[in-house]
Amino acid sequence: MSMRKLIITFLILSIVSSVAVSNPLNRAFAHTFSGDESATFLALLEMIKTEAHLAEQNLGTNVTLAHEHAEATTEHLDANQTKEISERNARVSNELNASLTALKDAFNSTSPPTASDIKDKVSNVDAILGEVLSVRIDKNQLNNVTVKASTINDLVGETLEHYGEAVGHEDTNKSSESNSTTNASSSAVKIVNEAAYQTAQALSSRVIELYKNVNSKALNSTAAENAQSGLEMLKSDIDKKVTFDTIDKLIDSTISPALNSGYDLKLKLEEG
């Protein structure tokens, strides 16, 4: 009888020990993302959502543009990011890829997709992005003001990049006035990539919406006001099709410094 009790006690201790050892190992394999990494990922989700909705919005008037936006939904989603999602939840990762592929493939048939079909597919993308958000971003970072401000800053960068594509700006010739119809800096530039221009417009509107959530939480009111006015000017200037250099200067001289000082982003700002 004593031997039986000894065996049972040994088995119980073995189980408890294995649980105690396995849990720390499991936690060790789970990657903890920094605030900057989370901000970058949040910006990625915003990009995907923006492109998906632009695909839907353009379907009735320009199928080619709609197709370009649908293709762009996976432009920034690489294998590493997909792996990061899969590590948290394989099903969500698979469904994200499937929903984006379904949206793109809808434009590859011989006949244009129907409005209801694209609407359903965009709704599916929205739904899975919501799951990705909850799976990939920790709640404390999701509610962190600095992470939110960093996300806005990343999206401002995406806005500039897409505007550059829209006006045919070359990175190797940053100081040039891209495709300006005249030499006057206030004149409208020629748009050479309509899809990129639409994305820049949509993002310039979105960052203003997102900024409403952090405006009152800036470290100082002056920075908050400068960021607000800078973001509003960004949207206005893009709508007016000002030169690339004008947009670039606005971001470097006003928006980035305001976000940096207002939310302690520790950005490496460009001088002068």
- 67-93, pLDDT tens digit by residue? 999 999 998 888 888 998 999 999 999
Structure tokens at 1: 């009888």
254 and 181 inside one domain: yes
Average pLDDT over residues 121-126: 97
Number of domains in the chain: 2
CATH code of the domain covering residue 40: 1.20.120
The answer as to whether 148 is a domain residue is yes
* Average per-residue pLDDT for the chain: 85
Treating both helix axes as pointing N-terminal to C-terminal, what angle do 63-72 and 35-58 enclose, rounded to 10 degrees? 160
- SS3 of 189, please? strand
Q: What is the pLDDT of residue 271?
A: 63
pLDDT above 60 for 227: yes
Give CA–CA dist 237/243, Å, rounded. Answer: 9
Kindly indicate the confidence band of residue 15, based on its pLDDT and cuts at 50, 70 and 90.
very low
pLDDT above 70 for 122: yes
| Percent of the chain with pLDDT strictly greater than 70 | 81
Q: Who contacts 103 (Cβ-Cβ below 8 Å, separation ≥6)?
A: 52, 55, 70, 73, 118, 121, 122, 124, 125
Average pLDDT over residues 10-15: 48
Average pLDDT over residues 166-191: 62
Give CA–CA dist 128/136, Å, rounded. Answer: 12
Which pLDDT tens digit goes with each residue over 239-259?
999 999 999 999 999 999 999
Q: Which residue type, as a one-letter code, is found at position 48?
A: I
Q: What is the pLDDT of residue 1?
A: 52
46 and 148 inside one domain: no
Q: Which residue type, as a one-letter code, is found at position 107?
A: F
The answer as to whether 114 is a domain residue is yes
Contact (CB, 8 A) for 201 and 238: yes
Kindly indicate the confidence band of residue 268, based on its pLDDT and cuts at 50, 70 and 90.
confident
- SS3 of 177, please? coil
pLDDT above 90 for 224: yes
Where helices occur in 78-216 by DSSP H, the ranges are 79-88, 90-105, 115-136, 139-142, 145-166, 194-211
Domain-ending residue, one of 138, 171, 197 = 138
- SS3 of 21, please? helix
The answer to which of 100-114, 131-145, 166-180, 186-200 has the lowest mean pLDDT is 166-180
DSSP for residue 266: -
Structure tokens at 99: 């929903």
pLDDT above 70 for 32: no
Q: What is the pLDDT of residue 5?
A: 53
Domain-ending residue, one of 113, 138, 163 = 138
Q: What is the pLDDT of residue 106?
A: 95
Q: Which domain holds residue 79?
A: 35-138
Q: What is the pLDDT of residue 110?
A: 84
pLDDT above 90 for 172: no
Q: 165: buried, middle or exposed (CB in 10 Å: 19+, 13-18, 0-12)?
A: middle
Q: What is the pLDDT of residue 31?
A: 60
pLDDT above 70 for 202: yes
Q: Who contacts 106 (Cβ-Cβ below 8 Å, separation ≥6)?
A: 70, 113, 117, 118, 121
191 and 257 inside one domain: yes
40 and 111 inside one domain: yes
Give CA–CA dist 81/77, Å, rounded. Answer: 6
Find the radius of gyration of the CA atoms of the chain: 24
Average pLDDT over residues 195-219: 97
Q: 157: buried, middle or exposed (CB in 10 Å: 19+, 13-18, 0-12)?
A: middle
pLDDT above 80 for 8: no
Q: What is the pLDDT of residue 20?
A: 39
The answer as to whether 8 is a domain residue is no
pLDDT above 60 for 204: yes
132 and 189 inside one domain: no
Q: Higher-confidence residue: 181 or 251?
A: 251
**Maximum distance among all Cα pairs of the chain, rounded to whole angstroms:** 99
- SS3 of 188, please? coil
Residue 161 — φ and ψ, nearest 5°? -60, -45
Domain-ending residue, one of 138, 158, 179 = 138
